[in-house]
Structure 1
Amino acid sequence: MLLHVDDLAELIERVMREKDWTLSTLARRSGISTSTLHSWKSGDRATGSRGPSPALLRKFADGAGLTVAEVFEAAGRHVPAAMDDETERRFLHMLRALSDDDRKVVEATMQAMAERQRS
């Protein structure tokens, strides 16, 4: 159970300590390179200009046995809202029904919204 974690580096340290894992073990279990985890652990979270990508944070959460919310919070990122399978299917169905031009508009809008969430 996560009580308080100030940042991603601290969370990585805690996982390694509690599970008695090396960084290599954590990398193997999460499918993230050791060098990437090392940079996060050393406080250099700049994998890209905005820090770790959501996809990598999700992989880390899965591999470390943590919730996505714990990891995103520790990384200082907006915690994504849960989406059930039915909602995701509905969104995908609507997206597929759009023309290519309209899909580009939706994508640009979603990117802008995601950027706003990160601010």
Structure 2
Amino acid sequence: MDDLAALIKRLMDDKGWTLSTLARRSGIPTSTLHSWKSGDRATGSRGPSPVLLRKFAEGAGLTVAEVFEAAGRSIPAPMDDDAERRFLHLYRTLDAEDRRILETTMQAMSERKKSRS
């Protein structure tokens, strides 16, 4: 299994892409990809955000699971567009306090999952 830095290097070698090409395809700043490629903030709890990892996977033509695994992150359960819309609709019906509670709860769940792996 590649770590994220090795995955980026392998991808660039296999496809003949520059870091700029990868940045353009994924919509992630070149400086961010450079830091991942050099191993800075590429893994662990302070590594790339799930949003950026998803963008990277899409732009690179890789699976989300492959990228999350390389970044040392838990692989998220799939969520189809309908489920995401339902979740977002429910979230939007909450007042500010309930949104804060939900976000705090979700953060705690995410941290608990990280500590188990």
With normalisation by structure 2, the TM-score equals 0.85
Unaligned runs of 5+ in 2: none
Cα offset for 1:84?
1.7
Task: Name the CA distance, whole Å, in 2 between partners of 1:96 and 1:40.
Answer: 34
Matched, 1:117 2:113: yes
Aligned to 1:69: 65
Q: Aligned Cα RMSD in Å?
A: 2.0
TM-superposition CA deviations, 1:49-80 (whole Å, max 9, x none): 61111111111111111111110000000111
Aligned to 1:6: 2
TM-superposition CA deviations, 1:17-64 (whole Å, max 9, x none): 1111111111111111222111111111269x6111111111111111
Unaligned runs of 5+ in 1: none
- The alignment of Structure 1 onto Structure 2 pairs a total of residues equal to 115
- 1:89–1:24 Cα change, 3 Å: closer
Aligned to 1:94: 90
- 1:89–1:64 Cα change, 3 Å: same
Matched, 1:60 2:17: no
Moved over 4 A (4+): none
Give aligned-pair identity as a percent.
75
